[in-house]
Structure 1
């Protein structure tokens, strides 16, 4: 097994741009499908860094593998290894750290503005970012802040968009890992779940507008997250 573990939960929520960053850094990594039981028999003391990707399920769903994954994350937390959670992955980290995850009264989707929290002024996770920047969103649940967490980001539709716990864990409600291909795939297969009449959701046309430029800017956001995460694991 490699030193970098990426936990996924469905085929259409892969590592995306994270895999590209790791390939460019010449870092081997292993991708597991936790929902298919692939976390079983993994040596949890081996990984030096862990990323947790998204998925359509809720942390509150009665799925046995969710409890297995949360227990694994708690083991990684005790080991104090660098972790980064994306959307569902962020919610799983919040739950592993003792916080509540709740259903929101609406879905937040599309390119939404992130605002830096006042408490985040000195956070190394955000050192590469301005006070406001967009991230691609698609979620209907939201996490509370775990005890001891530092709030990092908020949006007009979701107060808790990101937090740091200690120096080595980042949880981001959005999807910094998106590529052009992933955005187009999601909008091809799942546009029927959207309702552009809701102010918290963009239309498909809005999400696709200037997509190459939007994704290029998002890649810069993600690259800063991922490079800091890697620097903690491989100083």
Structure 2
């Protein structure tokens, strides 16, 4: 029986580095495609920790599986499980906690420097982070903060980059799970969606510059989030 449930929403937003971390820790995990209905019939009492990955859709889209996933998240929250959401996953967590998700007037894409929010310094979710760091971004929606949430991170183009709710829920707007191979795939397949004239988007050249070094540092950021998440689950 698997201890960790990972919900994905499209084939090109996989667990990526998260899966590598879980394998290195010897953690058993299930990966389900929520958009294909694979969550239906799943025993919501089974997992000890839950992760939600990204996707190109909006939580506001009229897709029947979104309501099913939000309801499952509300059950996981009621069970007090450690939950971590990436991009769309963070937006789904915000929705499950009663907050709005809205369209931004631009797309934030590329390596974006993060700023810690006021009062967030003592959060255990941020204890591993260096003074300056970036997280890879690609999103046009953003979440509002649920009632009782603690804002953790912001960027120039997105005020709400991360929040904690209670002591076990972390919602992230960016993509700390990325690997070098996955970023290369996105930049090859999605280049037509980019508009380097928008200041909120980096050019392809900027995104690819020193990619290996940037991903190595990103992996360290991700591993700190994942280590705390697994510790909370006793894994």
| TM-score bin, normalised by smaller chain | over 0.9
Deviation at 1:130, TM superposition (A): 2.7
- Equivalences, count: 235
Segments ≥4 residues shifted beyond 6 Å: none
**Where does residue 69 of structure 2 map in the other structure?**
69
Q: Which runs of 5+ in 1 are unaligned?
A: none
Any idea what the Cα deviations from partners look like across 1:165-215, whole Å, max 9, x if unmatched? Answer: 000000010000000000000001011000000000000110000000000
The normalised TM-score by structure 1 is: 0.99
1:219 paired to 2:219: yes
The normalised TM-score by structure 2 is: 0.99
Any idea what the Cα deviations from partners look like across 1:39-85, whole Å, max 9, x if unmatched? Answer: 01000011100000000000000000000000000000000000000
Contact 1:152 / 1:162 at 8 angstroms: preserved in 2? Answer: yes
Alignment of 1:113-124 (within 5 A): 113-124=113-124
Alpha-carbon RMSD: 0.7
Q: 2:150 and 2:171 mapped to 1: Cα distance?
A: 10
Alignment of 1:32-111 (within 5 A): 32-111=32-111
Q: 1:84 and 1:74 mapped to 2: Cα distance?
A: 13
Deviation at 1:118, TM superposition (A): 1.3
Contact 1:32 / 1:38 at 8 angstroms: preserved in 2? Answer: yes
Q: 2:119 and 2:202 mapped to 1: Cα distance?
A: 29
Q: 1:230 and 1:111 mapped to 2: Cα distance?
A: 26
Q: Which runs of 5+ in 2 are unaligned?
A: none
Contact 1:116 / 1:131 at 8 angstroms: preserved in 2? Answer: no
1:2 paired to 2:6: no
Any idea what the Cα deviations from partners look like across 1:139-182, whole Å, max 9, x if unmatched? Answer: 00000000000000000000000000000000010000000000
**Where does residue 136 of structure 2 map in the other structure?**
136
Q: 1:103 and 1:172 mapped to 2: Cα distance?
A: 16
Q: 1:118 and 1:128 mapped to 2: Cα distance?
A: 17
**Where does residue 148 of structure 1 map in the other structure?**
148
When structure 1 is superposed on structure 2, of 131-140 and 174-183 the one drifting more is 131-140
**Where does residue 204 of structure 2 map in the other structure?**
204
Any idea what the Cα deviations from partners look like across 1:89-129, whole Å, max 9, x if unmatched? Answer: 00000000000000000000000001011121100000001
Contact 1:53 / 1:88 at 8 angstroms: preserved in 2? Answer: yes
Any idea what the Cα deviations from partners look like across 1:13-37, whole Å, max 9, x if unmatched? Answer: 0000000000000001000000000
Q: 2:132 and 2:81 mapped to 1: Cα distance?
A: 29
Contact 1:115 / 1:131 at 8 angstroms: preserved in 2? Answer: no
